[in-house]
Amino acid sequence: MVSKFTKSQTNKGTEKEGLGLLLADLRFQRIDVPTKRRILELIGKTGAFGIQTFDAVMTPEPMSPVGLDNLDERFPLLTLIEMKTTRKPIRNDALEGFFFGATEREYEMARTLGERYLFAFVVLSTTNDYGRPFAVLLTLEEVQRRTLSARIQYQVNLRSDMTPIGGPGPGWTIVLGDESHLPTMPSSEPDTQAQQRVADVEPPGP
């Protein structure tokens, strides 16, 4: 059984590999956090979007690194890229069977920027019509046109100003491996009945 932590680490490795593949095309660039924050300021949606809403930027032609020193000048040329990466054997750019997760923030940013925000669907497997990994860039409009089904998933951050519960009650804390474990259902039978029930299932002695 794969733990959630292991799965998360695997997903991060997949995303990192996908980004490395995408960066082989010199039109794509990974940018640092301060530059990402400045991009959000230039979009005018600093409070609505976070730096996790896009992974890279794309320019029409390869160019020197984009950073705070030249961002304001180059911003009109940038397309923001949000990556979705898979190791599944996706056959071709029809992307049949490509399953991915997305946040409402990503969709909202895509609606705000239109063609200047693209989803990059990166396929790492070589079991496909091309015999090599490939990537497909799609606008939100095209993603929605191709979508078979979608479901909403809540992403929840719990408050940091709460105090410990301190005992049984709503939100009972279970410290695994000690006496605070939830007990098994207590028997309502008298002891003699319980003993008789045990005797019924025990094999007879020699």
- So where are the chain's domains? 4-146
* pLDDT recorded at residue 49: 84
pLDDT tens digits, 7-42: 456 678 899 999 999 999 999 999 999 999 999 999
Tokens coding 191? 């002891």
Alpha helices in the chain (DSSP H): 4-23, 33-43, 71-74, 104-113, 140-146, 191-201
Q: What percentage of the chain reaches a pLDDT higher than 70?
A: 72
If 0-12 CB within 10 Å is exposed, 13-18 middle and 19+ buried, where does residue 128 land?
middle
Q: Which residues contact 206 (CB under 8 A, 6 or more apart)?
A: none
Cα–Cα distance, 49 to 109 (Å, whole number): 7
pLDDT digits (tens, 9 = 90+) for 39-95: 999 998 766 788 999 999 999 999 999 999 999 999 999 999 999 999 999 999 999
Tokens (6 digits) for 57? 């930027």
Other C-beta atoms lying within 10 Å of the C-beta of residue 98 = 16
For β-strands 28-29 and 79-86, DSSP reports them as unpaired
Structure tokens at 105: 């923030």
